[in-house]
Chains A and B, each alone.
Chain A
Amino acid sequence: MTTTATRPADSRRRPFRTNRPVNWRRTIAWVLLAVAIAVSVLPFYWVLRTALSTNGSLAANSASLLPADFNLGAFKRVFGLQTAAEAIAEGGSGASINFWQYLWNSLLFSSITTAGAVFFSSMAAYAFARLRWKGRDGVFSLFLGTMLVPPIFTALPNFLLVKNLGLLNSMLGMVLPYLFMTPFAIFFMRQFFLNMSREVEEAAMLDGAKHWRIFFQIVMPNAAAPIATLALLTFMGQWNEYFWPLLVGTTEETRVLTVGLGVFKSQAPQGAPDWSGLMAATLVSATPVLILFAIFGKKIVNSIGFNGTK
C-alpha cells in the first residue's frame, strides 16, 4: 500500500527520470561520450602495456590486454642502462641512446624559454595595457601580426642567424628565438592587465611610487594566477616543440626529447621495430606533462576557451 502511495508523488517530483524516451536518449549520449573518452585515454594504457612487454612476445600476444611477458628492459634500454649486446638481444638497435640527457635538455629548453618569455612578455604587456605613449596601439598590432606568420617562414632566416652567430647545437641558440617574447604571451597578459582594477596602482602612484616599483611590487604579485596559467601553457608548448630544436639541436648534447624520439624511431631495426623500447621512450617523454596535468589539471582545463572574443 505504501509503495503505491509514494510512487505517483515521486514521479511528479522527478518527471524526467521516469520518462522513458528521455532516459533512453541520455543513455545513448552517455555511451557516445564514454566512447570519445575511451578513444582519448585508452591509447595511453596501450603505450604503457607495450612498454612493459618484451619485444619477442609482442607478436604472439598482440591483442592481450596485459603486458606480454612483463619486463622492464625497454625502460633500461631507453635510459642507456643496457649494453649494446643486451639491447640487441631484446630487439633493440644497440645504438647508444640516453633519454636522461634528452630529458635534461628538454627541461632546460622549456624552463629557460618559459621563464624568459613569460617575464619579458609581462613587462611588454604592462606597457601596452597601462602606460600611455605615442604609437602604442600601432606597435601592439605589429606584435600581434607576428602571430599570423607561420613558424616555418621565420625558421629559415632564424636558422641562418643562429648559424652565423656560431650558436648551432648550443642551448643558447635553441632558446634565443623564444626567450624575449611570444606574441601569445603578450596578448594573454595584456588582456589580464586591461581587466585588472587600477585602484591599488593609482594609490601607489599618488604616494610617488615609480612604474617599475608598481610593476614588480603590486602588478606582478596580483597577476600570480594568470602568470602561472601562462607559464604552464608555455612550458607544455615548449616541451612539445619539435621543428626548431630539430634544426638547431642535432647533437647528442643538445637533443631534446621530441627530437630524440624521432632519432630513436629511425634507428629501430627495419622489419622488426623495437616497439617496447619506442613505447617506453614515448612514455618517458610524456610523463612530465602528465605529471603537470595531474597537479594542475583544473587550471589547464579552465584555461581552454580563452580567446580574444571573450
Chain B
Amino acid sequence: MTTLTKQPGPGLSARGPQKSRKRGKPGADFRGTGDLRIALFFIAPAMLGFVLFYLVPTIRGIYLSFTEYSILGDPEWIGTRNYERIAKDPLFWNALGVTTQYVIINIALQTALALGIALLMHRVAKSTLIRGALLMPYLMANVIAALLWFWMLDYQIGIVNQLIEWLGLPRVAFFGSEQWAIPTQALINTWRHMGYTALLIFAGLQAIPNSVYEAASIDGSKAVSTFWRITLPLLRPVLVLVLVVTVIGSFQVFDTVAVTTAGGPVNATRVLQFYIYQRAFNEQDFGYGSALAVILFLILALVAFIQMKFLRGNQSDLD
C-alpha cells in the first residue's frame, strides 16, 4: 500500500524527461508511456475472474452476513442479529469445539509422523520411487481417501478391526461412536497428508548444509542433541509453513465428513464447514451461513497471523 501512495510524486516528475527522450530516440518509444496498456491486455482475463469470483463475492459475503436471506426474494438487512444468534447457538459452539479437536489431532499427529518420515528418508533413502510411494495418498481426492478408510475401518468386516481382534483387543466403532468419530476423521486426513508433509520437511532438511552437522559432530554433539539444537531450529521456516497450511486446511475439513458421517453420530462430526453448508444449502439460511463463514474466515486470518508473527515463519536462520 505504501508503494501505491508514494508513486504519484516521482512518477510525475519522471514523465517529463522521459517524453523528451522519446522524441530523441524513436526506437524506444514504447517505454515512454510505461507498459500500462499492454499490461491491461495481459491481465484482463485474470482481472475479470478476480473481480467476479473473488473480490465481489468477498464483499457480498460480508454484506449477506448482515442480512436475512432465504435465496427466494431479496436479502433483508438485519444488522448484527445473525452474529448475536451465533453467539447463543449451541450447534456453532459444538462445531467450533469439534473442529478445534480435529485440528489439534491433525497437527500433532501429522507433524510428528511427517518429521519422523523426513528424518528417516534423510538418513537412509531418498529415491524418487520412495518419495513417490509416500506421496500417493496425497494425490487422491479427499472423497476417495474417505471411502477407502470407511471400508478398511468398517466395524463388521473391515480389515483394521480384523487386525485389532487378532491382537486380542475389542473392535472399535471408528465412525459409529461419538468418541472415535473425530479422531477417525483426523486419521484419514493424516494418512492423506503425511507423505506430502514429509516431503516438504525433507526438502527443508536438504537445504541445511552438511558443514553444520560436521561442525556439531566435531564439537562432540550427540545425535539427539544435534536434532533438538540444530536440525529443529534450522527447520523452523518449513515447519511454520507446514503448520500454517495444516491448520488452515484442517479448519476447512468438509469432504471426508460429508461422505462418511455427515455430521454424526449426533453432532460429533458436525464441523464448521459442514455446519455452514447445512445452514446455507439445506435450510436455505444464506444470511446465517454467511455470518458463520465470516467467523471461519476471521479465525483463519487470526491463526495465520499469530503463527507468522510469533514463529517468525518468513525468516530463516541459515543466512
Contact = CB atoms under 8 A, between A and B. Distances in A.
A247 B142 CA distance: 16
A180 B203 contact: no
Interface in A12-50: 26, 29-30, 32-33, 36-37, 39-41, 43-44, 46-47, 50
A33 B293 contact: no
A33 B124 contact: yes
Contacts of B162: 62-63
A261 B301 CA distance: 33
B124 A127 contact: no
A58 interface: yes
Contact of B1 (A58, A59, A138): A138
B134 A36 contact: yes
Interface stretch (A75-83, A93-101, A118-126): A118-126
Given A262-B259, A297-B128, A309 B316 contact: yes
Contact of B196 (A146, A304, A309): A304
A32 B7 CA distance: 57
A29 B124 contact: yes
B57 A154 contact: yes
A33 B35 contact: no
Nearest to B45: A120
A261 B143 contact: yes
Interface string A128-155: 1001111111110011001011111110
A191 interface: no
A37 B191 CA distance: 11
Interface stretch (A2-10, A84-92, A222-230, A275-283): A275-283
Interface string B245-275: 0001001101100110000000000000100
Contacts of B276: 152, 156
A167 interface: no
Contact of B293 (A153, A239, A275, A285): A153
A265 B134 CA distance: 27
B140 A160 contact: no
A134 B133 CA distance: 47
B114 to A, nearest CB: 10
Contacts of A186: 46
A258 B143 contact: yes
A59 B191 CA distance: 25
Most buried by B among A121, A150, A212, A247: A150
Contacts of A137: 3-4
A150 B296 contact: yes
A172 interface: no
Most buried by A among B39, B46, B128: B46
A289 interface: yes
A164 to B, nearest CB: 10
B227 interface: no
A1 interface: no
A240 B141 contact: yes
B147 A157 contact: no
A307 interface: yes
B159 interface: yes
Interface string A247-261: 100000000011001
A65 B306 CA distance: 48
A255 to B, nearest CB: 12
B28 to A, nearest CB: 9
B159 A153 contact: no
Contacts of A62: 157-159, 162
Contacts of A135: 4, 7
Nearest to B314: A309
A92 to B, nearest CB: 15
A133 to B, nearest CB: 4
Contact of B297 (A150, A212, A286): A150
A46 B152 contact: yes
B141 A258 contact: yes
B199 interface: yes
A36 B120 contact: yes
B144 A59 contact: no
B121 interface: yes
Contact of B56 (A157, A163, A236, A293): A157
B176 interface: no
B56 A120 contact: no
A29 B123 contact: yes
25 contacts: A32-B120, A37-B130, A46-B148, A120-B46, A131-B39, A133-B35, A134-B7, A135-B4, A137-B3, A137-B4, A142-B55, A150-B248, A150-B300, A154-B58, A154-B61, A157-B57, A180-B46, A181-B45, A212-B41, A240-B142, A242-B142, A258-B142, A293-B132, A293-B139, A304-B196
Given A150-B296, A302-B128, A304-B135, 10 more contacts: A143-B46, A146-B50, A148-B304, A154-B53, A176-B52, A241-B141, A265-B150, A286-B144, A304-B196, A307-B200
Interface of B: 1, 3-4, 7, 11, 27, 34-36, 38-39, 41-43, 45-50, 52-58, 60-61, 64, 71, 113, 116-117, 120-121, 123-125, 128, 130-137, 139-144, 147-152, 154, 156-159, 162, 191, 194-196, 198-200, 202-204, 237-238, 241, 248, 251-252, 254-255, 258-259, 273, 276-277, 280-281, 286, 289-290, 293-294, 296-297, 300-301, 304, 314, 316
